[in-house]
Amino acid sequence: MKHPPAGTLRRALAAEWTKFRTDATHARLLLGLVVLTAAVGAATAATTTCPAPGCGVDAPRTALTGVLVGQVVAVVLGVLTAGNEYRTGMVRTTLAAVPSRSAVLTAKAVVLSAAVLAAGALAVAGSLLAARLLLPGNGFTPAHGYPALSLADGPTLRAATGSVLYLLLVALLGLGAVTATRSSAAATGAVLGLLFVLPAVTAVVGDPDWQRHLQQFAPMPAGLAVQATLDTARLPIAPWPGLGVLALWTAAALTLGRTALHARDA
């Protein structure tokens, strides 16, 4: 499939950016993503203790617990980036103005990515800052084997960077799902079910080998492995390959959405 001409893509980007920034719902969701992620991370850090050396708590992962909540907002934002146009019928106007459907979907993905990367970076930075201030009072001290959280620490930097990318990928997963289904409700339900129900099913599987394989395949457990900084060798899947599994799910959703967009009328 041919890539859209550069001029067409520029026009599509300008149009999608205008639509995105003038929709107050998008701004509220981005703010909610930042606030909820940082607030839940701070609350978790405030209530987690390390009473003795070797308590075994993964401090960076604890600080980034809010990503579990923030991902819901990211999914909704990704879905609404295209879902609102299907609901109102504005997608016909969009495709009349920019006939290249590949350019439209690419532009939506680029604008969404820029917004979520910025919000995700703020959310993760706020979570780590809150944990840096709160955790020492709960026993996470150098005497217990926990220096202050810092992005200068390689595993912490990987957990932080990976968390931002995780939020980006689940938002794009939502965009791909709604482009394929043309229904915000169906896309939101499908993506959240994939993220949350599949791990619940995995948890009730009795066979340890099957459970491990399912954890390697499920997008949320695999993707969030990137946050782990302790005992990574014992994880069902290594941190970066785990995020790669989520990236494959996202790529599949976007490919399905692009195919559906080309195969049918608006």
State the DSSP string of 172-213: HHHHHHHHHHS-HHHHHHHHHIIIIIHHHHHHT---HHHHHH
Residue whose C-alpha is closest to residue 145's, from 224, 38, 67, 229: 229
For residue 176, being part of any structural domain is answered with: yes
Which three-class secondary structure string do you get for 35-62?
HHHHHHHHHHHHHCCCCCCCCCCCHHHH
Provide the residue range defining the domain that includes 99.
6-263
For residue 12, being part of any structural domain is answered with: yes
Average pLDDT of span 110-137: 98
pLDDT at 4 over 70: no
For residue 205, being part of any structural domain is answered with: yes
**Per-residue pLDDT tens digits for 91-110:** 888 888 888 999 999 999 99
Using CB atoms within 10 A of its CB, is residue 154 exposed (0-12), middle (13-18) or buried (19+)? exposed
pTM for the complete prediction?
Answer: 0.95
Question: Which CA distances in Å does 36 have to 57, 93, 119, 236?
Answer: 22, 35, 11, 28
| Enclosing H/E stretch for 175 | helix 154-181
**pLDDT score recorded for residue 264:** 78
Contact status, residue 165 vs residue 246, Cβ threshold 8 Å = no
Q: What share of the chain is helix, strand, coil (3-state, %, to 5)?
A: 80, 0, 20
For residue 88, being part of any structural domain is answered with: yes
* pLDDT class of 265 with cuts at 50, 70, 90: low
pLDDT at 266 over 80: no
**Per-residue pLDDT tens digits for 17-74:** 999 999 999 999 999 999 999 999 999 999 999 999 989 999 999 999 999 999 999 9
* pLDDT class of 208 with cuts at 50, 70, 90: confident
Sign of CA dihedral 41, 45, 47, 53: positive
Contact status, residue 242 vs residue 222, Cβ threshold 8 Å = yes
* pLDDT class of 201 with cuts at 50, 70, 90: confident
What is the rounded average pLDDT for all residues in the chain? 94
**pLDDT score recorded for residue 1:** 45
pLDDT at 76 over 60: yes
**Number of domains forming the structure of the chain:** 1
For residue 192, being part of any structural domain is answered with: yes
Look up residue 195 and give its DSSP letter: I
For residue 198, being part of any structural domain is answered with: yes
For residue 1, being part of any structural domain is answered with: no
